[in-house]
Amino acid sequence: MPAGNLRKLKMAILYGADAVYLGTPDMSLRTKSQFSLQDVIEGVEFCHKHGKRAYLTLNLFSHNKDVPKLEEYIDTVRKVKPDGLIIADPGVFQFVKERAPELSLHISTQSNVSSWLSVKFWQSMGADLCVLAREVSFSELKEIREKCPDIMLEAFVHGAMCMTYSGRCLLSNFMAERGANQGNCANSCRWNYKLKMRMKDGTVQALELDENNINMFEFLLEEGCRPGELMPIEEDDRGSYILNSKDLCIMPKLDEYLKIGVDSLKVEGRGKSEYYVAIVARAYRLAIDDYYKDPDSWNPKPYMRELEAVGNRGYTLAFHDGRLTNYAHDYEHTASLAQWEYAGVVTKVTKDAFEVEIKNKLVAGEVLEFISPTNRNTVLLRAYDYEDTKNGKKLEIVQGGTKTIVRFPFALFEHEDVNELQEKFPIYSVVRKERPLTEEQWNRVKFDKIAQNLEIKKKYDDASYDKQRDKLAKSIAEDLSERRFKTNRVGIQGCCGKGCNGCMIFWQDETYARAREILLKRKQGEQLSKAEAQELRLAVIGEL
């Protein structure tokens, strides 16, 4: 898992990562990394204390100015014995090999290792592990594994994709004077581009297309060395995200990777949130463990539902089948979306309460889901007010970003065992809540899901895809700002029917008597399934 700072590192380990990768901003490809050299040492020690591994990123493309820093860096980190140094630059590789021969050397994805020939080369140079390029297909990965059995292989399984060859991009330099290969990419590929035309008088104007003139134009691209080969390009009046890749997610094919014996599965995202780190680590941890327990019955769907709770640009298998399809890019929309969001993180566990730092706005009646790093069962709590730990004041609204600490007494969790709560939800446990989305965003979520399923099925001509794309385009054009939740689990009136702790409607209203009878037969803390809750909710609506 990625670690952008010390707290993210600890959360990744607690939520199931076997290893983390981290680095200082000046010596790795993340200038926004929040690790000092001292933090790196503390992070490595934390990993080792928990029986996990720590890999240090030293994957910059070095300039002369960077060379004097290498000596101090290597002499400092070698004292804590990191489990590997991830390197891209051959000169840096040779320097570390000579300066600290005891350190394990890993080859970064920035080296674009895409064949068994390259793997064998780095193995002969002394590398212990190769992080393969994202462009390697599964069939190629399988062949590399067969031809290179004596070196560890690491493959990316999740996270943002680059629109060029594993980060070999100059677009950011040109557009924003920020070097992608120096760890400061501006993500120019995510920007919205519009077509302009230059008039004969030198003025530049937008070309407004409407129903009266759209059929008068066809836009063609001609490459200098191929005169006469005209390639059509398309754009509508909203602009285009023609370089905007969706996020990689190999979860639907994870069992294939485990079958062939890939040594390490890598997740991108040192710049992503604590919530991302925790939930993604947890999802892959559960998926991997469940596969090894019962490989024949393994199904990716429950773990995909977890990954869909994390902000994403839509998921794609990317180069898994050897080439990209139109499903790998999102031309309509670039925002990262999810139906859930980070509500808070447990900062303290007392004898009678959780203390939670609030990350996003909470209102009276919110249903909060506590995600355990040690147990697959989550706990739902419906809160009608929030106690500020600073002054004991009860609040109906808590604003996000204010670092407000809210106290949740264990007495609110009337259907849970207090000892189990304290055990299952230690410090750094995350809390999430449903997020309201606009109609445009809901259409984007549905469109992404349709595209992902079609990509998995290798079905490239489907009416549902075109229909949902048109629906998304229409909602973008309408630009409606009203937001709604998927369920009515917010506010003091609605109820989802799942029997959340503290839900007065569920536990007191006679219309939910049947649901309460079902829950009484369940073990402590076990909730109604999604299907059961939906059935009961429809029954309640019918009675009303």
Q: What is the pLDDT of residue 147?
A: 98
- How far apart, in whole angstroms, are the C-alpha atoms of residue 140 and residue 252? 18
**Strand 315-316 to 247-249 pairing:** parallel
Residue 399 shares a structural domain with residue 379? yes
Residue 137 shares a structural domain with residue 266? yes
From start to end of 91-234, where are the E strands? 105-107, 129-131, 152-159, 196-198, 204-206, 220-222, 230-232
The predicted model gives 313-327 an average pLDDT of 89
Residue 351 shares a structural domain with residue 478? no
Domain that holds residue 232: 191-244
Residue 209 shares a structural domain with residue 111? no
Q: 35-49, 120-134, 320-334, 486-500 — which is least confidently predicted?
A: 486-500
Residue 266 shares a structural domain with residue 389? no
Domain containing residue 141: CATH number: 3.20.20.70
Residue 377 shares a structural domain with residue 236? no
Residue 356 shares a structural domain with residue 315? no
- Which residues does residue 387 pair with via DSSP β-bridges, in sequence order? 394, 407
Residue 14 shares a structural domain with residue 128? yes
Q: Is residue 168 part of a domain?
A: no
DSSP code at position 227: T
> Do residues 80 and 45 make contact, with C-beta atoms less than 8 angstroms apart?
yes
- Which residues does residue 131 pair with via DSSP β-bridges, in sequence order? 154
Residue 131 shares a structural domain with residue 105? yes
Burial of 93 (0-12, 13-18, 19+ CB in 10 A): buried
- How far apart, in whole angstroms, are the C-alpha atoms of residue 142 and residue 132? 12
Q: Is residue 325 part of a domain?
A: no
Residue 525 shares a structural domain with residue 466? no
Residue 383 shares a structural domain with residue 453? no
Q: Is the pLDDT of residue 238 over 50?
A: no
Q: Is residue 183 part of a domain?
A: no
Q: Is the pLDDT of residue 78 over 80?
A: yes
Q: Is residue 181 part of a domain?
A: no
Residues 79-132 pLDDT 10s: 889 999 999 999 999 999 999 999 999 999 989 999 999 999 999 999 999 999
Q: What is the pLDDT of residue 541?
A: 60
Q: Is residue 129 part of a domain?
A: yes
Domain containing residue 383: CATH number: 2.40.30.10
- Count of the separate structural domains present in the chain: 4
Write b or e for each residue in 383-416: b if 16 or more Cβ atoms lie within 10 A of its Cβ, otherwise e: beebbebeeeeebeebeeeeebbbbbebebbebb
pTM greater than 0.85 (yes/no): yes
Q: pLDDT class for 160, splitting at 50, 70, 90? A: confident
Written as six digits, the tokens of 51 are 């029986």
Residue 268 shares a structural domain with residue 375? no
- How far apart, in whole angstroms, are the C-alpha atoms of residue 172 and residue 397? 41
- CA-CA distances (angstroms) from residue 123 to 106, 119, 144, 333, 385? 10, 6, 13, 42, 59
Q: Is residue 185 part of a domain?
A: no
